[in-house]
Amino acid sequence: MGDTEWCEKYPSYQSVSRTILEILLCILIVASYVPQYVSIVSHGTHAISSRFILFHGLFSVLVFGLRLQIPAFYDAFNCVDGGPYTGWKALSSLLGFIQSAVQFASAMLLVVLYVKHRTPSLPDEPSEAPMPGIPSQTIARVISTTAIVVLPISLAFLWCNQYPAFDRDDETKLGNIVAVYGIGLGIWGTLLLPANLVFLVLQFVYQIETIGTLSSTGTLSLISLLLQAVVFTTLAFSQTMRSWSAIVWPSWPDFNSLGRLFEWFLAFYYGINTHVAYLLVGIGFVVLFVFSLLEGRRNAPGAIQLDV
C-alpha cells in the first residue's frame, strides 16, 4: 500500500490545470483514430494492409502491458490503491495508465472495424500487398490471445508490488522474495520489449509497401495519420514528464565503464521504454503520412486532399 508520508512528499498527481490537459489528451487519442474509423465503415479497407492492422494491434497490446509493469509507475498506483489519494488526485495520478488504456482500446476498435468491413483482395484487383493478406480470423485470434495472456500477467506484477506474500519481519525471506520478483519482472520485460519494437517497425514497413505497390492510399485516412503523429509524440513527452522524478537516473554515461552503461540501460529498461516506443511510433506515423502524401501527389498531381 502507498505510504501516506511518501505519497505527499513525492506526489504522483499533477496540478489541476495539468490534469485537465492530460484528460484532453485522452480525448485526442480517441479523436486521432475517428477519421480512420469513419473511412473504413464508409469505404472499406482498400490499401490498408492487414499486416499493418495486425502489428499495430500487437504493438498496442504490448506497450500497454509494458506500461503496467514498469516500476517507475508503481508509486502512482500504490498511492491510490490503499494510499491517501482520492478524488481528482487519484484521477490525476492514474492518468498515465488511463492514457495507455485509451490508446489500447482505440487500437482494438480499429481492429474490430477492419475485420468487420474488410474489402476483399482479389488476384486481379488487390486491396493490399503483399498478397495474400492475413485472414481476418487470424488477426482477431492472434491479437485477442496476446491480450488475454499479456495484460493479466503485467497487471499481476503491478498489483503484487505492494502485496508481497511474505513475512516482512523475516529479512531473509523478504530478500529472497524480492529477488524472485525482480528476476521475474526482468524476464517478463525481456520477452515483451524486443517483440514490441519489432511490431512497431513492421506495421509501417508493410503499410508503406502496400501503398507503394498499389500506388494508392486507398481508404487510409491522411487526417488520422497526421493526428496520430501528433498525439503519439505528445503522449511520449507527457508520460516522460510524469515519470521523470521516479526514474533512477545515473550520472553521465562513461563508455569505458560497463557498469555505468548498464545503469543507463536499466534506466531505459525499467523507466522509459514505453515513452521511447510512443515517440518512435509517432515518428513512424510522420514517415507514413509524408510517404502517403507524396504517393498521392505523384499519382494525382494537384488533386491530393486530406480527406477522411
**pTM summary value:** 0.87
pLDDT at 205 over 90: yes
Q: What is the mean pLDDT of residues 44-64?
A: 96
- The string of pLDDT tens digits covering residues 74-113 is 888 888 887 889 899 999 999 999 999 999 999 999 999 9
Tell me if 308 is assigned to some domain: no
pLDDT at 132 over 50: yes
In contact, 80 and 90? CB cutoff 8 Å = yes
Domain total in the chain = 1
Q: What is the mean pLDDT of residues 258-282?
A: 72
* Rounded-to-integer distance, Cα 73 and Cα 136, Å: 35
186 pLDDT tier (thresholds 50, 70, 90) = confident
Tell me if 304 is assigned to some domain: no
Tell me if 136 is assigned to some domain: yes
Q: Among 95-99, 153-157, 163-167, 253-257, whose mean pLDDT is lowest?
A: 163-167
- Residue 122 sits at φ, ψ, to 5 deg, of -105, 155
In the prediction, which pLDDT does 207 show? 95
Tell me if 305 is assigned to some domain: no
178 pLDDT tier (thresholds 50, 70, 90) = low
Q: What percent of the chain has pLDDT over 90?
A: 53
Q: Which of 119, 128, 98 is nearest to 40 (CA)?
A: 119
In the prediction, which pLDDT does 52 show? 97
Q: Residue 37 is part of which domain span?
A: 4-299
Q: Which of 92, 293, 79, 268 is nearest to 189 (CA)?
A: 268
Segment holding 187, helix H or strand E: helix 171-214
**C-alpha gyration radius of the chain:** 21
Tell me if 307 is assigned to some domain: no
The three-class DSSP label of residue 128 is coil
